[in-house]
Structure 1
Amino acid sequence: MTDTVRTVKAAESVSPASARTRQLRRILLLGGCALIVLFVLVTVSVTTGQMPMTPSVALRGLFGFGDPADVLVVQEFRAPRMVAALIAGAGLAVAGSMLQRLFRNPLASPDVMGVTGGASFGAVVLLATGVSASLIPVAALGGGMLAALLLGVFAWRSGLAVTRLVLVGLAVQAGLAAAVNLMVVRFPAELANSALQWTTGSLYGRTWTEVWAAGGAVALALACAFALHRRLAVLDLGDDSAGALGLIPSTARLQLLVTAIALASLAAALTGPVAFVALAVPHVVRFLAGPPTAGNLALTGLAGAVLLLASDLVVQHLLPVSGLPVGVVTATLGAPWLLVLMIRQSRPVNRSLG
């Protein structure tokens, strides 16, 4: 009896405020560790390659000082690729986190739902028409919205059930990927190489023009995502509670959905359809940092940037085959994760059938 009383008193002593404080400390600790890892990865990114250099030389080259060859290598080749990885990784991870919470579905992500495939389709169509590459973010955004519309048309009547959503999303992704491959095959030789990156996702050949155009748009979409986070938190309580708090659930859900799709599409405008960053990173962050908060969302973006930059460094320096796209590494890491998630989602169904 005494042990029971002690247990009850100990449970009562754990107040919601203390739980939030512990979670905040955990998020800050994880964020600090992620920043250290990110600093190391950025240093490796700008110092290694066919022309290795010390961190001090790379830093001077980044700001335009030192040997002209070092300045050219750092400013025009290494830095744009590194910045593109950071921006796209953060955008994809945050978009995946938002979609999973909106649909209350651990399998919801831009790549599984076909959004990144639609963004790639829009970008390749733009390249086929010969329009300026600076408009790729606009084309990618249009393609992502098209994929979301197709997904809604084919899956909405099923009530967005987990299995139906995933299957329809994979079908949309596969169909758009096939259309991209067809256009690449029919392209003239001079356009085929520039369009081929949109089939698997690549950071090769990124320029500052592309980084400023798509990266600036991703930064704006990220700001909108954080500004709308309070509405996402209210929707987590359920539609009835959200309505009682003065929020119109359908309007808020549409705003958040458009923001997430725009974020994923614009990130794909930098990299092409990089797989599984948006699917896996939010799960890892929730496992390590606890229930979703604004701090978790920021940590998710940071973890996505770390994962994509690390994957790109693996492609550049650790694999025996040169020239592979970064999507190969992320797909290799993410495919088993998707399989595990689908098995976990199917278990309740199997029990009910038995």
Structure 2
Amino acid sequence: MIATLPAPPRATANSRARQRLTVLAVTSAALLAGLITLALVLGEFPMAPGAALGAALGFGDAGDVYVVQQFRLPRLVAGLIAGAGLAVSGAVLQRIFRNPLASPDVMGVTGGASFGAVVILAFGASQALIPFGALAGGLVAGILLAVLGSRGLPVSRLVLMGLAIQAGLAAAVNLFLVRFPKELAGSALQWRTGSLYGRTWPEVQGAALASAVVLLAIFVAYRTLAVLDLGDESAGTLGVRVSSTRIRLLLTAVALASLAAALAGPIAFVALAIPHLVRMLVGPPTAATLAVTALVGSTLLVGCDLLSQHVLPGAVPVGVVTATVGAPWLLVLMLRESSPTSRRTA
């Protein structure tokens, strides 16, 4: 009789991680499919699921097709793009800085996007330019971080500088709101809290194309990101130019977050919470977990947007919902990071 040798512990752990990843991916995909159906069905003019899905494809009653394709579908696609972009951007930034608090909404990127959008509004430019202003503002904040990073500052200090940039930009936005109250009273709400209201196909299509290009660049550079996890000395020994590589990845992540903010405003906590949640459930990051991170980010933002539209009173902006969900998560994260157990295992 031939004895069967037990599997090595590492192989067993990898197998369990893959199983958990598969379960999370299938669960998130199923939940997202249900949320997509609800987003098309619910509204001032409710529809049957079959009619709503048919209208999304251009079939059925002309009125249903118009409502779904011109109002509900752009908002839904905007939520999918922004949620995925923020989640992936947060995952990349946390690995680059090796800090659990590194995310676009903490390090000034979404603050820069808000500032760029509010400047466009304050000076009376066309609203078609608002996404471009938001994108430019986010990129400026990211370039400022990259310049500071090129000076060899410690990672922890860069995170603190990101917090300072975010606070300064928030103060600048408030100054513009006080200085130009009539021009900004209604339109600036999205750029303070985050909202998917009023998205149009030109905005969504442009953001989708640009986000797809940036996401592809991130996945292509994923192996380099994994090498950086080994530490600067080890990465340099393997032939990686650490400073330039980190800056290139930083700008890529910032561009992705800026595109999301240009589409939806400064949505809070998605980029901070989702990478941690995926890491807790499925283990260390891989290319597959990065893809699942995008899926979970889209699921969270679309779900929160449905809550803001159809459950909470007064059409609360989706950014308020994500902040309400994320604030307790941030508190739990801080307590977890400061616990003696986490310090011993770090």
Q: TM > 0.5 between the two?
A: yes
- Mapping of residues 106-121 of structure 1, within 5 Å: 106-121=100-115
Q: Does 1:172 align with 2:130?
A: no
Gaps spanning 5+ residues in structure 1: where?
1-8
- Offset of residue 323 of structure 1: 2.1
Look up the match of 1:339. Answer: 331
- Mapping of residues 5-44 of structure 1, within 5 Å: 13-14=7-8, 16-17=10-11, 19-44=13-38
CA contact (8 A) 1:137 1:213 kept: no
1:67/1:24 CA distance change after superposition, 3 Å:
same
- Offset of residue 315 of structure 1: 0.5
RMSD after superposition? 2.5
* CA distance in structure 1 between the aligned counterparts of 2:133 and 2:213, rounded to whole angstroms: 17
- Offset of residue 121 of structure 1: 1.0
- Which of residues 183, 194, 201 in structure 2 aligns to 1:208? 201
- Offset of residue 84 of structure 1: 0.4
- Offset of residue 254 of structure 1: 1.2
Look up the match of 2:273. Answer: 280
CA contact (8 A) 2:37 2:53 kept: no
Q: Does 1:81 align with 2:71?
A: no
Aligned residues: 337
1:217/1:126 CA distance change after superposition, 3 Å:
farther
1:15/1:243 CA distance change after superposition, 3 Å:
farther
Look up the match of 1:6. Answer: none
- Offset of residue 120 of structure 1: 1.4
* CA distance in structure 2 between the aligned counterparts of 1:167 and 1:96, rounded to whole angstroms: 16
The one-letter code matched in structure 2 to 1:277 is V
- Offset of residue 183 of structure 1: 2.5
- Offset of residue 86 of structure 1: 0.6
Percentage of identical aligned residues: 61
Look up the match of 1:264. Answer: 257
- Which of residues 290, 295, 319 in structure 2 aligns to 1:327? 319
Q: Does 1:289 align with 2:282?
A: yes
* CA distance in structure 1 between the aligned counterparts of 2:162 and 2:262, rounded to whole angstroms: 19
TM normalised by structure 2 equals 0.89
* CA distance in structure 2 between the aligned counterparts of 1:53 and 1:119, rounded to whole angstroms: 36
- Offset of residue 67 of structure 1: 2.3
- Mapping of residues 34-183 of structure 1, within 5 Å: 34-151=28-145, 159-161=154-156, 167-183=160-176
* CA distance in structure 1 between the aligned counterparts of 2:40 and 2:220, rounded to whole angstroms: 33
The one-letter code matched in structure 2 to 1:115 is V
1:244/1:150 CA distance change after superposition, 3 Å:
closer
Look up the match of 1:251. Answer: 244
- Offset of residue 135 of structure 1: 4.1
What SS does the corresponding residue of 2:23 show, helix, strand or coil? helix
Runs of 4+ residues deviating >6 angstroms: 152-158
TM normalised by structure 1 equals 0.87
The one-letter code matched in structure 2 to 1:223 is L
CA contact (8 A) 1:116 1:273 kept: yes
The one-letter code matched in structure 2 to 1:241 is S
CA contact (8 A) 2:89 2:256 kept: yes
- Larger mean Cα displacement after TM superposition, 268-277 or 217-226: 217-226
- Offset of residue 77 of structure 1: 1.1
CA contact (8 A) 2:268 2:319 kept: yes
The one-letter code matched in structure 2 to 1:63 is L
* CA distance in structure 1 between the aligned counterparts of 2:129 and 2:204, rounded to whole angstroms: 12
Deviations 1:27-80 (A, max 9, x none): 222111111000000000000111110111112221233223212211111111
CA contact (8 A) 1:134 1:209 kept: no
What SS does the corresponding residue of 1:50 show, helix, strand or coil? coil
Deviations 1:94-117 (A, max 9, x none): 000001111110111110111111
The one-letter code matched in structure 2 to 1:89 is G
1:265/1:38 CA distance change after superposition, 3 Å:
same
- Larger mean Cα displacement after TM superposition, 210-219 or 178-187: 178-187
* CA distance in structure 2 between the aligned counterparts of 1:196 and 1:33, rounded to whole angstroms: 34
- Larger mean Cα displacement after TM superposition, 119-128 or 51-60: 119-128
Look up the match of 1:315. Answer: 308
* CA distance in structure 2 between the aligned counterparts of 1:340 and 1:216, rounded to whole angstroms: 36
